[in-house]
Structure 1
Amino acid sequence: MVCALGAAVCFGTATVWQAMATRTAAARAAATGGRGGDAALLLRALRQWRYAAGLALDGLGFVLQVVALRSVPIYAVGAALAASLAVTAVVAARLLRVRLSGVEWAAVAVVCAGLAMLGLASGTEGDRDGPAALKWVLLGTAMGVLLLGLAGGRLPERGRALLLGLGAGFGFGVVEVAVRLVGSLRPAGLLTDPAAYALLLGGGAAFLLLTSALQRGSVTVATAGMVVGETLGPAAVGVVWLGDRTREGLAWLAVLGFLVAVAGALALARFGEAPAEAPAGTPAEAA
């Protein structure tokens, strides 16, 4: 659980840097007549130092996420990762001088309370592998998310943010489940394991859709869609097919903690992206 919370800190901090770099890249593309919101936008964002630093934090967060997923139930890790929005809110308030309302500070407290309940109620991870077709279903889902990302720039304006956000959430959800299903870590085993390919495709597609969603449409809607997509589905898979359980007699506390943490994260959905421009007194954007 400590690793899951550490991953949330890494992802939440990275979001502030990456989102600012994404907006800067989109603005520069518009000034030069280019287009954003697709794979080209990702390439432009990679030229920003904040985006590169955010990717480094994402890498560390992913390692911590993998350790957590191999030790505790998916529902606990998913809720902790959704709580990265609380980290983003606090970091934005501290470094970017973003003003949080009383309701938003209350939402941060709610997220912390939900995670505390989950920590008390969570049991060990399940020991089942699920049906044989589950790995192939994951791979098919990852490919579907990738296709959605490739077509993201052509989606109609209405509903674009929600669809891209949900797609990104599904991609991250694929990663959460795939980590549990990967068997041997030997190179020969990974090359023949559909779960390994699902993990790579799902993660890559999720980043592509999230990058597009950050600068297209409502950030709040996109982030809310991502939180829903990356928590509910993987948690259900873990409980139904992989054998994730709670401590004896504490199932109600785990369900309550999960719902409370996710609800708090949804209340903080606007922090899925940092402000397009830093407030006065903060460092200016630099390439």
Structure 2
Amino acid sequence: MVCALASACCFGTASVLQAIAARAVEAGSGSGVDPVLLFRALRQWRYVAGLALDGLGFLLQVIALRSIPLYAVGAALAASLAVTAVVAAGLLGTRLTVVEWAAVATVCGGLAMIALASGPAGNRVGPAALRWSLLGAALAVLLVGVFAGRFPQGPRTLLLGLGAGAGFGVVEVAVRMIDSLAVPRLFADPALYALLLGGAAGFLLLTSALRGGSVTVATAGMIVAETAGPALTGVIWLGDRPREGLQWLAVTGFAAAVTGALALARFGDTGDGPAAPPPKGAPADACGTAVRRRQPPQRQ
């Protein structure tokens, strides 16, 4: 649980540092978004520091996914929005409303309840079909992106956000299910390809959602799908269980953490400047715009 919380802190702080660096590049270059923006950003120590935090956060996330129930990791990762909100308030001068401060407190309280109630990660490997189902789910996420263009803007943004969350959820479950790093067995494991495809699909859909629609709607959809799907998978198939007699505390804490994160959904992106600053730890596209989630604040 310490690793999961530390991962959330890394991701949330990295988002703000990368946003500051991206804004400084845009302000100084005067050229707007261009193909070499990423290289300019890499000259900023804050951007490099953000990338380093992203790498550390990912390693901590993997340790957490292999050690504690998926519902605990999912709630902790959603809480990175609370970290982003608090850090942005200090470094970017963003004003948090009373409701948003209450949401931060709710997230912290929910995580404390989950920490008290969580047992060790389940020891089941799940049915063999689950690995192939993960790969199928990752392909389905890509299909969501293909067909989302047929919908009006509002429903399309929500659908893309849900699809992105499902893709990231596939990554969480796949990390848990990979049981061997031996090269022949690893490359024969469908979970590895589900991890790669789910992550790429999640990046793609969330980027499309953030560029074309409401950040709040897209981020809220992502949080719901990213936390609920892996949590149910862990409980039903992988043997994740709270401590005996504390099931109610785990459910209450999970609901509180996710609800608080949803209240902070506007921190899923930032639009305070001409360029879209990078989300946490994402690889950048040709314009230097990172393709990931949980970027610092924007008023809707």
Please report the TM-score for the alignment, with normalisation by the length of structure 1. Answer: 0.84
Matched, 1:213 2:213: no
Deviations 1:158-180 (A, max 9, x none): 32221121111101100111011
The letter for the 1-side match of 2:194 is A
Please state how far the C-alpha of 1:52 moved relative to its aligned partner.
6.4
The CA distance in 2 between the partners of 1:205 and 1:71, in whole Å, is 26
Matched, 1:102 2:98: yes
Gap regions ≥5 residues in structure 1? 35-42, 279-286
Please state how far the C-alpha of 1:13 moved relative to its aligned partner.
2.2
Residue in 2 aligned with 1:2? 2
Please state how far the C-alpha of 1:132 moved relative to its aligned partner.
1.2
> 1:16·1:273 contact (CA, 8 Å) conserved in 2?
no
Please state how far the C-alpha of 1:192 moved relative to its aligned partner.
0.4
> 2:119·2:242 contact (CA, 8 Å) conserved in 1?
yes
The CA distance in 1 between the partners of 2:52 and 2:149, in whole Å, is 26
Please state how far the C-alpha of 1:234 moved relative to its aligned partner.
0.5
Please state how far the C-alpha of 1:260 moved relative to its aligned partner.
0.4
Gap regions ≥5 residues in structure 2? 275-287, 289-300
Residue in 2 aligned with 1:251? 247
The CA distance in 1 between the partners of 2:149 and 2:52, in whole Å, is 26
Select 2:53's aligned residue among 53, 57, 67.
Answer: 57
Please report the TM-score for the alignment, with normalisation by the length of structure 2. Answer: 0.80
Q: Judge which range, 190-199 or 207-216, deviates more.
A: 207-216
Deviations 1:149-201 (A, max 9, x none): 46767764232221121111101100111011102111222110000111111
CA RMSD in angstroms comes to 2.8
Q: How does 1:177-192 map to 2 (within 5 A)?
A: 177-192=173-188
Matched, 1:264 2:260: yes
Alpha-carbon distance change, 219 to 155 in structure 1, aligned in 2, over 3 angstroms: same
Equivalenced residue count is 266
- In structure 2, the residue corresponding to 1:183 is in which secondary structure? coil
Alpha-carbon distance change, 96 to 175 in structure 1, aligned in 2, over 3 angstroms: same
Residue in 1 aligned with 2:293? none
Q: Judge which range, 71-80 or 141-150, deviates more.
A: 141-150
The CA distance in 2 between the partners of 1:169 and 1:16, in whole Å, is 21
> 2:122·2:234 contact (CA, 8 Å) conserved in 1?
yes
> 1:122·1:247 contact (CA, 8 Å) conserved in 2?
yes
The CA distance in 1 between the partners of 2:131 and 2:19, in whole Å, is 32
The CA distance in 2 between the partners of 1:151 and 1:68, in whole Å, is 34
The CA distance in 1 between the partners of 2:36 and 2:138, in whole Å, is 24
Please state how far the C-alpha of 1:215 moved relative to its aligned partner.
2.2
Q: How does 1:27-46 map to 2 (within 5 A)?
A: 46=38
The CA distance in 1 between the partners of 2:206 and 2:13, in whole Å, is 16
Select 1:73's aligned residue among 62, 69, 75.
Answer: 69
Residue in 2 aligned with 1:163? 159
The CA distance in 1 between the partners of 2:243 and 2:88, in whole Å, is 36
- In structure 1, the residue corresponding to 2:3 is in which secondary structure? helix
The CA distance in 1 between the partners of 2:259 and 2:235, in whole Å, is 20
